[in-house]
Amino acid sequence: MPIDHSVTIRSAVEADMPSIVNLISALADYENLEGPNAEAIARLRKHGFGEPTYFQVLLAEKDGKAVAYAIYFFTYSTFLAQPTLYLEDLFVLPEYRSLGIGFRLMKELAKVAIERECGRLDWTVLDWNQSAIDFYDRLKAVQLKDWIVTRLTGEPLTKLAHG
């Protein structure tokens, strides 16, 4: 895999919000989802750059343009008794794929995980996204077939909290 060393990777700052929103919107388009509206953008800014901070962002730039990003946060494994770095999003604009940018973002995330004494790096991948699955396979990532992603949202979440 060729690696374009002219691409820089750095931690995002609040001034990067327009680029972050553009990349999140591009990911939403790729997944046939609706991108963030104005209220969601305000929450992203608050949660990513306010107090407390809920997530962190790595940006990959080529020639001053943000071309990829990774959003991550930390959870905790009681069985390992160590934190886990959880990768929420990793996205490279289609015209910048095959330049090693995704690999470099994963490498940077692995460095952060080791520095923060994480026992693992977790993420999910859509079952139809074969190119992503193939990429993660090349990294020797293991797909956990015995775990089911479970979620509460909307009315059921509210009802549980207040019912």
30 is catalytic: no
Task: Give Cα 88 distance to the centre of its chain.
Answer: 4
Residue 82 identity (one-letter amino acid)? Q
Burial string for 71-91 (b: 16+ CB within 10 Å, else e) reads bbeeeeeeeeeebbbbbeebb
Q: Which of 69, 72, 86, 136 is catalytic?
A: 136
**Nearby residues of 41 by Cβ (< 8 Å), 6 or more positions away:** 17, 21
The phi-psi region of residue 117 (left if phi > 0; otherwise alpha if psi is between -120 and 50; otherwise beta) is left
What is the β-pairing status of strands 120-123 and 8-11?
unpaired
Q: Could you give the CA distance from residue 88 to residue 155 in angstroms, rounded to a whole number?
A: 23
Q: Which residues are catalytic?
A: 136
